[in-house]
Amino acid sequence: MSIQHTSRTGKTYYLHTGVTKTGKPKYFFSTKLDGELADTIPDGFEIYENVNGQVFLRRIPKQIILPDELALVETVLKAHGEDWEYQAEVKKDTITVYECGTDIGRISELIKAYAGRSWTDEEKRQHAHYMAVMRFVLEDKMNRLFTTERFCFKGSIDDWIYVGGPAELSDQVGKHIKHLGQDSFYELY
């Protein structure tokens, strides 16, 4: 049976296999069924879905961020906003927080006005598009100390700027996540 994955957006992706010009095997996901489908995931690889629902085959990354550190960020995010409003993702030594950049609330109101029903949280999550707004970077692996950065949306900068740390992740998360979606977010620096 072929390898398939249904993303949070509801699209089904199929793992395809092929050969590079040098004769090495290559793998990729596609929503199309045509072509040679893979029956297994190659050793050392995993199916990875990013926060915006794109599906990839990637090497299993070395674990730098601990599962309980990611869980702490996700727990505080769920307490801060709706389940679909924020997502967290780990890449190497960084936990990045994403905020829904789509005005899902307004779209849901329009659907209610014209279709007579509001979107469920699952439908909101399915149609959300996320943008990176904050990140926690592991600076000291031995003592597990993190710095916090937020994305600066000024046209002349458009980059990450330092806002706090190094300190324990629980301190950084408690001090900074409360500013997400607020005007005070832009005063962090």
> Hey, what are 167's tokens?
């300190």
For residue 109, what pLDDT is reported?
72
Between 17 and 165, the higher pLDDT residue: 17
Q: b or e along 161-180 (b: 16 or more beta carbons within 10 Å of the residue's beta carbon)?
A: eebbbbbebeebbeebbebb
pLDDT digits (tens, 9 = 90+) for 38-95: 999 999 999 999 998 999 999 999 999 999 999 999 999 999 988 888 999 999 999 9
Q: What is the pLDDT of residue 108?
A: 67
pLDDT given for residue 129 in this prediction: 84
Q: For the residues 91-112, what does the mean pLDDT come to?
A: 82
The structure's pTM equals 0.84
HEC secondary structure over 39-85: CCCCCCEEEEECCCCCEEEEECCCCCCCHHHHHHHHHHHHHHCCCCC
Q: What are phi and psi of 45, to 5 degrees?
A: -120, 165
pLDDT recorded at residue 148: 97
Give pLDDT tens digits for 18-53.
Answer: 999 999 999 999 999 999 999 999 999 999 999 989
Classify residue 125 as left (phi > 0), alpha (psi -120 to 50) or beta: alpha
Residue of 187, 189, 185 lying closest to 86 (CA atoms): 185
Give kind and range of the element (H or E) at residue 28: strand 25-30
Highest mean pLDDT among 83-87, 111-115, 118-122, 174-178: 174-178
C-alpha 148/C-alpha 162 separation (Å) is 6
Q: Convert the pLDDT of each residue in 124-165 to its tens digit.
A: 777 788 999 999 999 999 999 999 999 998 777 778 999 998
Dihedral Cα 148, 70, 67, 29, nearest 10 deg: -110
Question: Which amino acid, 40?
Answer: T
pLDDT, position 161? 93
Q: Where are the domains of the chain?
A: 4-59, 67-187
Predicted confidence at residue 43, as pLDDT, reads 94
Whole-angstrom Cα distance, residue 178 to residue 99?
Answer: 13
